[in-house]
Structure 1
Amino acid sequence: MRTNLRAILAADADLGAGNVITRLLAHGADPAGPGLTFDVDVDGHPAWEPLTLGQLDERVAARAAWLHERGIGWRDPVAVYASTSADVVLSFLALNRLGAIPALLNGNLSGEIAAEYIRRLRAEAVLTDAKHAALLEGRDFGSRLLGDITEMGSADPADAPPPYRHHPDDPISITHSSGTTGLPKAIVHSHTTLFAATRRIRLSGPRAQGTERVVCALPSAHTAGILSINQALCNRAELVFLSSQRGDYVLDAIERFKPTGVFGFAVTWADMARHDLGTRDLDSVAIWFNTGDCAHEAHIRPLVAVGSHNTVTREGVTRVKGSMFIDGIGSTEMGHSAFHITHRVDTERYDRCIGRPHVFADVAVLDDAGEPVGAGVVGHLGLKSPTVKLMYWNDSVTEFRTRQSGYYLTGDLVYHDEDGYYYHVDRAVDSVVLDGGQWLHTSLTEEKILASCPDVLDCTVVAVREGGGVVTDVLLVLKAGADVAADRRDAVVAALGEHAAPTLRDVNAVHDDDIPTGATGKVRKLVLRERALSGAAR
């Protein structure tokens, strides 16, 4: 039944990111089969106790009835600003059931930023919990508060109107960028764009090893979180959605849930590198799936050394030690990672290699004029894909500035080799041109520093133009027990290379709190550049 159901779903033209539960049940999926599991109590349902598909449908219907009673319906943009993955996910599903447009905010956004973001959305209403309502109190965000999001499940599911029938182009989510360079950008995805990759590679091909039982450590308010939910439901997999992306919290969840796969962002893998993974029970994990920023080699290798996976030998299928790390690069705008590469214990293709494009992705490396460049030449990553966002919400200026030669410009600098592998060197806003036309790519330099300094947990390279030249500061977060006084300057100089090395000003060991991050944990290099220009980063 499982294989047949996946084939039926792949062929269902009405199925998309906004109606997965409804279509699953319409096609005869077992209501007693897997739905979702959350790490907190929600709507009277205990934490860590799975919701069946039928129970999940009932919980969503109850929240839809609650929203309907308060006048929410077709095309109403409703902001969701809450603490737990359970409240965010169930509200997202309920709003889509009504044909409304859930605008999901990361709960880590400050009240000031959230209020301005909601104001620019021109949201019809806002759903919050007590904590986030307090953050918005006294601020002008231009919308009505609907009530406490934790009380939505109290309505009668029978009072929910019939599920809205989605058109392929209907907007089903507004999610936002990380906000590392300013106010987060509001990004709209459609019923089709957020399901194209699921249909093409998750349902039409063999079920991937490690996706049977998943711990999801992605932010629930991110497009990647929405993708993981729909993929798990369509694959009839078990998934627990966490409310925290901290390394220790994720490790505890793995030991409790015994997943075959773990989904997360690069920031989680870096945080997990603080721990001795060999002392944790991680044997069940076959895959680690990364999206967003590509991960550093120094954070991947400890992960693939633990866990276990199935492999085919002369004796048949055998479970062997070591896991697989599936890397790539993605963003809210891209909708799904456009690239993929699998790392194992014995693989060596690193140096920020993001792999080869997925079958649905038409990628190009473009110069400043929008012309393709050859192998080995760094350029702007352009993408044409059915997964790309519908638009930027209320922001046509940004919409058109990110288009060139028919491609969406992701803001990343990459190159490809003769074998068709692509490598990420930096975000365009973080790279700096040096005298003589050479470039300093901060992300690639960080990769090299981590590879050459085993006692460094993480690092950030900050390059600014000052007084007609470029100066570079390197901030190092050290592993526990590392010698703070050790001289690492030679290793940093070697990582910078001959052209950038003369720009080096300082190499400083810092604490986590010294590194400003956005809501998703990304480093806010814009803030660090401002500090460097003022002398505060030294």
Structure 2
Amino acid sequence: MSSTNLRAILAADTDLGAGNVITRLLAHGADPNGPGLTFDVDVDGHPAWQPLTLGQLDERVAARAAWLHQHGIGWRDVIAVYASTSADVLLTFLACNRIGAIPALLNGNLSGEIATEYIRRLRATAVLVDAPHAERLEGRDFGSRILGDITTMGSGDPAQAPEPYRHHKDDPISITHSSGTTGLPKAIVHSHTTLFEATRRIRLSGPRAQGTERVLCALPSAHTAGILSINQALCNRAELVFLSSQRGEYVLDAIERFKPTGVFGFAVTWADMARHDLTKRDMDSVAIWFNTGDCAHEAHIRPLVNVGSHKTVTREGVTTVSGSMFIDGIGSTEMGHSAFHITHRKDTERYGRCIGRPHVFADVAVLDDQGEPLPAGVVGHLGLKSPTVMLGCWNDSVTTFRTRQRGYYLTGDLVFYDEDGYYYHVDRAVDSVVLDSGHWLHTSYTEEKILATCPDVLDCTVVAVREAGTVVTDVLLLLRADADASADRTPQITAALGEHAAPTLRRITAVHDDDIPTGATGKVRKLVLRERALTGAA
């Protein structure tokens, strides 16, 4: 069967969803010797970097499902997964879904203290850990039991696995968490449908996107974006390597080894890669970079689109041209899939935190504080209606309903749109500050402008707080290795702040990586920086 015919069959399969992709693929005649998944670590006796075929992947998932079944786990049991490698996280996710259990995936970078409280609030049936994470939980009361060592689950007998659970469209198939940059991460529930509708509507119903034939995934495996990536690759019958680290140098080494046509990641990875001279690395195979989560800065996109190559249609036919494509948007755990999309190339100029236009499945609105729609050019709250939006927050109906207004899910982002229908992200609502003049200081938008005008700055963070009734702003700069730390960048930074916010500038400080607190996914914890700023420590 051709991949085109199979994709059409999958798109029409109403039983197919995020919880049963492997079993439905095989039921529709997908070649068991075709592509499954590849990991960058040894797992269940299978060597790192050696592909698992679809049939081998099915067998490995069945082995772990049998292990869970043997240990008394079944339908609707909540299993917290706290481990180091993408292989253990994703194989266990697939195995839990095979038996109808609900995997609650924790980012392995969470501290033991935060993980303990998060698991306790989950009221999980049991917890699966590897040795390093068992040590983090040792002696702590997380309100559950450790079921076993996740690295031993592959010892189960695949032949003893129960029949695959048949999912209803509304069945919960994952609990993943938010980044936790403003406090304890929120536990987000997604269903068989919410984590598959975007794949069905835009990945299976049209031509296979250029650059998705051979994918390197640098997304966190415990994130909804990781789940989306494996299901999209499997349905598209693409080769996919899933990494266990999002560090820039690690990803660059993996690109040179695997020669992918597409690389998936978060903005933090692109920022980390921008520290390196990409022209000295072998990036020729890459046609697309796909970003989700926070939208990326222009300064971090430009170096990427200048390397690699992609195909384009000219009068002479299909031609390969130098330079790759960067597909940006904005997404979150709660949104389930990026709601917007825009493609940057070497010759495109629509930046300024433009997140593009909405996907066909997304009904978006820019709303004021009362939930009323705002006109073009006016900043407001991003509201989203989409079949991809989360079911809610696990064991937290207060947060679930607080994020709803007039039928829209409020993402917590501040955006505006222009007369051409393009949307722009200016900040997270919690990070913006109203000035005494009544105007606003949007920190993310200001960071974009600083990076655009200060080429010797790798990254920056703007922190604004109200101190003794007055707004003060600190700008933290991460400089390039060859930058002059003593140079006066005040003119560029005051220009980026603008006439209304410039008078609030208190200090400009060159910092190191260790000076910037980050969450589990690498996002800057501006809440912590604001607390420091109030004490004068920033």
User: Is the structural similarity TM-score above 0.5?
Assistant: yes
In 2, Cα distance between equivalents of 1:144 and 1:440 = 47
SS of 1:133 mapped into structure 2: helix
Q: What amino acid maps onto 1:139 in structure 2?
A: R
Q: Report the counterpart of residue 176 of structure 2 in structure 1.
A: 175
Q: Report the counterpart of residue 92 of structure 2 in structure 1.
A: 91
1:477 pairs with 2:478: yes
Q: Report the counterpart of residue 35 of structure 2 in structure 1.
A: 34
By how many angstroms is 1:313 displaced?
2.1
1:61 pairs with 2:62: yes
Q: What amino acid maps onto 2:265 in structure 1?
A: G
By how many angstroms is 1:3 displaced?
0.6
By how many angstroms is 1:320 displaced?
1.1
Residues 113-192 of structure 1: pairs in structure 2 closer than 5 A:
113-192=114-193
In 1, Cα distance between equivalents of 2:320 and 2:122 = 50
SS of 2:437 mapped into structure 1: helix
Q: Which moved more, 1:311-320 or 1:159-168?
A: 311-320
Q: Report the counterpart of residue 110 of structure 1 in structure 2.
A: 111
Q: Which moved more, 1:294-303 or 1:306-315?
A: 306-315
Partner deviation per Cα, 1:16-45 (whole Å, 9 max, x = no partner): 000000000000000000000000000000
Q: Report the counterpart of residue 24 of structure 2 in structure 1.
A: 23
Q: Report the counterpart of residue 237 of structure 1 in structure 2.
A: 238
Q: What amino acid maps onto 2:90 in structure 1?
A: V
SS of 1:250 mapped into structure 2: helix
Gap regions ≥5 residues in structure 1: none
In 2, Cα distance between equivalents of 1:299 and 1:422 = 19
Residues 368-447 of structure 1: pairs in structure 2 closer than 5 A:
368-447=369-448
Residues 261-300 of structure 1: pairs in structure 2 closer than 5 A:
261-300=262-301
In 2, Cα distance between equivalents of 1:149 and 1:143 = 16
In 2, Cα distance between equivalents of 1:492 and 1:513 = 23
Q: Report the counterpart of residue 46 of structure 1 in structure 2.
A: 47
Q: Report the counterpart of residue 255 of structure 2 in structure 1.
A: 254
Q: What amino acid maps onto 1:492 in structure 2?
A: I
Q: Report the counterpart of residue 490 of structure 2 in structure 1.
A: 489
1:5 pairs with 2:6: yes
Q: Report the counterpart of residue 526 of structure 1 in structure 2.
A: 527
By how many angstroms is 1:189 displaced?
0.1
By how many angstroms is 1:506 displaced?
0.2
Partner deviation per Cα, 1:158-206 (whole Å, 9 max, x = no partner): 0100000000000000000000000000000000000000000000011
SS of 1:325 mapped into structure 2: strand
Gap regions ≥5 residues in structure 2: none
SS of 1:492 mapped into structure 2: helix
Q: What amino acid maps onto 1:57 in structure 2?
A: D
Residues 303-322 of structure 1: pairs in structure 2 closer than 5 A:
303-322=304-323
SS of 1:29 mapped into structure 2: coil
In 2, Cα distance between equivalents of 1:290 and 1:468 = 39
SS of 2:203 mapped into structure 1: helix
Q: Report the counterpart of residue 80 of structure 1 in structure 2.
A: 81
Q: What amino acid maps onto 1:201 in structure 2?
A: I
Q: What amino acid maps onto 1:218 in structure 2?
A: L
In 1, Cα distance between equivalents of 2:384 and 2:289 = 25
Could you tell me the TM-score, scaled by structure 2's length? Answer: 1.00
Partner deviation per Cα, 1:269-318 (whole Å, 9 max, x = no partner): 00000000000000000000000000000000000000000112233221
Partner deviation per Cα, 1:203-248 (whole Å, 9 max, x = no partner): 0011000000000000000000000000000000000000000000
Partner deviation per Cα, 1:1-22 (whole Å, 9 max, x = no partner): 1110000000000000000000
In 1, Cα distance between equivalents of 2:22 and 2:240 = 15
In 2, Cα distance between equivalents of 1:321 and 1:466 = 50
In 2, Cα distance between equivalents of 1:171 and 1:7 = 25
RMSD value, Cα: 0.4
SS of 1:6 mapped into structure 2: helix
In 1, Cα distance between equivalents of 2:282 and 2:469 = 54
In 2, Cα distance between equivalents of 1:291 and 1:443 = 16
By how many angstroms is 1:504 displaced?
0.1
In 1, Cα distance between equivalents of 2:314 and 2:341 = 25
In 1, Cα distance between equivalents of 2:116 and 2:309 = 45
1:70 pairs with 2:71: yes
In 1, Cα distance between equivalents of 2:420 and 2:316 = 33
In 1, Cα distance between equivalents of 2:370 and 2:312 = 47
In 2, Cα distance between equivalents of 1:314 and 1:452 = 37
By how many angstroms is 1:155 displaced?
1.1
SS of 2:199 mapped into structure 1: helix
Q: What amino acid maps onto 2:358 in structure 1?
A: P
In 2, Cα distance between equivalents of 1:395 and 1:455 = 44
In 2, Cα distance between equivalents of 1:495 and 1:312 = 38
Q: What amino acid maps onto 1:458 in structure 2?
A: D
Residues 440-455 of structure 1: pairs in structure 2 closer than 5 A:
440-455=441-456
In 2, Cα distance between equivalents of 1:116 and 1:150 = 24
SS of 1:226 mapped into structure 2: helix
Q: Report the counterpart of residue 209 of structure 1 in structure 2.
A: 210
SS of 1:193 mapped into structure 2: coil
Q: What amino acid maps onto 2:269 in structure 1?
A: T
By how many angstroms is 1:405 displaced?
1.1
Q: What amino acid maps onto 2:474 in structure 1?
A: D
Q: What amino acid maps onto 1:206 in structure 2?
A: P
Report how many aligned residue pairs link the two structures.
Answer: 537
Partner deviation per Cα, 1:66-93 (whole Å, 9 max, x = no partner): 0000000000000000000000000000
Q: Report the counterpart of residue 193 of structure 1 in structure 2.
A: 194
Identity of aligned residues (%): 88
